[in-house]
Structure 1
């Protein structure tokens, strides 16, 4: 399934997992190995322990 609007596109699996992409109006693609337009990514991950309790992977 796909959910979209003017700012976001979200892919949703049949079991509810999601991956979302946000539009950037003045996007400049990254160049490697230079840093004039560095690579950018933000990933939120929800993790649960074997008993099903959520916990953080990063503390700061």
Structure 2
């Protein structure tokens, strides 16, 4: 029997509304606002990602992650990694590590507009 059930992943960021909109464009779903400092994205399939305002937020350094901020890492499965890459870059993502060894590694690493790392992974 598990100790807990999954609720959400919360990402610290300077602008929760705009970061929620970024992930909505990537994943779909509906945004709900708790207050100016907290937004939720309810993605298709039932998962939830929360975005909370952290005025002094500093993005983690990939891959070191030794800054004094929360480090989270999200993986997203895609059927066409090249097309998905074009789309997330157009939305404001920053490439961190695109060397997937001509497809052998199976993923590429990006940062969202607030600096959190995420991966696009081949299905």
Pick the structure with greater CA Rg. 1
TM-score category, normalised to shorter length: 0.3 to 0.5
TM-score, normalised to structure 1, is 0.45
Question: Which one scores higher on RCO, CA 8 angstroms, separation ≥ 6?
Answer: 2
